Amino acid sequence: MAELAKLGWYRESRLSSLSGDGRLFLWYQSASISFGWVPMDYERVVYLKSEIQRIGEETLRELKELDRQDALQELKVKVLGKKGSLTALLRQMGGLSPEERPMMGQVVNDMRSCLEKAWEERGVELDILALQKRLTTERIDITLPGTCVSRGHHHPLTQVIEEIEDIFLGMGFQIAEGPEIETDYYNFEALNLPKEHPAREMQDSFYITEEILLRTQTSPVQIRTMERLYPALPVKIIAPGKVYRNDDDATHSPMFHQVEGLVVDRGIRMSDLKGILLNFSRQMFGESREIRLRPSFFPFTEPSAEVDVSCMLCGGAGCRLCKGSGWIEILGSGMVHPRVLEMGGYNPQDVTGFAFGMGVERIAMLKFGIEDMRLLFDNDLRFLQQF
């Protein structure tokens, strides 16, 4: 009786007596439990009740120790699931008498709801704990320096081309382009270089067919531009791009770059050419540069001139770079040949023009002090990263 009282599912006062034959007179009253003398297997009831108590306490203890939501769920299945320990006890109740069953049912259900409440509370607790943990471990320190993605930069030749473009754009030029696969007509013929002309030999060319080749110079863009713009005036363009010749040594590459220049308008004179090129040379190589024009020959200009700039290394006194002369050749130029103006559609009686063409590799080598042109095309980062 004392044990029963300890288990707490009836009050002493309500229990009238426990008979010697194992029957219990129950005053316990509820909708489902009758009262009166009921047969009770005292041993079994006490055992079941203590088992329920044990499972409950054990579960509550485990619950306190759990620190993850999924473990919480696992434990729930282990206790309350189909094969759970509490459910197993419920099954054993099949062997109870009809009087015992509702009483035990009540105990199991009480325990069940007590555990469910505990589960719910622990669940909320774990949510809070998990959030706190995330807040401390996943904190982002925005003051930490970011992972540096190393930045690339333009190839020295591209840098030089862009600088040349900027200088001429600043003087009111526009940028024109033409194809790298060119016809013999634009590359030679329209530039006053008919077939069998000996000057063609200066440009050892890559022919695709007899009439089509990789352009050997940017000069064909002169003709293409005049054809496109005629009769507009002035024509004032530069044409940067790749050109191809069958050469390969320390100062020649089979592919290299040129920038062509062309100005056509009424009254254009050689002094205009000189002024533009002096301005360009000073912006490119330094304010104290001078230029000089030496007579030369190009089939598409008359008169023609090579343009030298005073040595950027020694300033004109003479050194290794300028081979003691104080001057360095940077480009070819001249007054546009009347026949070339005609080929472009313009009337040489009406307009005049000047043209020039420079090698970008040469300008870059002079500007950066590079001695072997092939370095520009080796793609060696140790070299390229210096610019």
- For ligand DAH, the binding residues (CB under 6 A) are 217, 219, 260, 298, 301, 332-334, 355-357
Instruction: Give min distance, CB of 190 to ligand DAH, in A.
Output: 13
Percent helix, strand, coil in the chain, to 5, is 45, 20, 35
Nearer to ligand DAH, 126 or 355 (CB): 355
Nearer to ligand DAH, 225 or 333 (CB): 333
Instruction: Give min distance, CB of 282 to ligand DAH, in A.
Output: 20
In the chain the first and final C-alpha atoms are separated, in Å, by: 99
> Token pair 């909708």 is at which residue?
31
As given in the structure block, the two tokens for residue 269 are 């004179």
Cα maximum dimension of the chain: 144
Strand partners, 308: 292, 329
Residue closest to ligand DAH, measured at CB: 357
Judge if the upstream peptide bond of residue 338 is cis by omega within 30 degrees of 0.
Answer: no
Nearer to ligand DAH, 180 or 378 (CB): 180
Strand partners, 86: none
Nearer to ligand DAH, 56 or 332 (CB): 332
What's the rounded Cα separation, in Å, for the pair 323 and 318?
A: 7
- Dihedrals φ, ψ of 303, to 5°? -75, 165
Instruction: Give min distance, CB of 237 to ligand DAH, in A.
Output: 11
Nearer to ligand DAH, 59 or 216 (CB): 216
Instruction: Give min distance, CB of 233 to ligand DAH, in A.
Output: 19
Nearer to ligand DAH, 344 or 357 (CB): 357
Instruction: Give min distance, CB of 250 to ligand DAH, in A.
Output: 19
Nearer to ligand DAH, 111 or 223 (CB): 223
What's the rounded Cα separation, in Å, for the pair 330 and 309?
A: 7
Instruction: Give min distance, CB of 323 to ligand DAH, in A.
Output: 21
- Dihedrals φ, ψ of 328, to 5°? -130, 130
The secondary structure of 89-150 as a DSSP string is: HHHHGGGS-TTHHHHHHHHHHHHHHHHHHHHHHHHHHHHHHHHHHHHHHS---TTSPPPPPP
Instruction: Give min distance, CB of 273 to ligand DAH, in A.
Output: 9
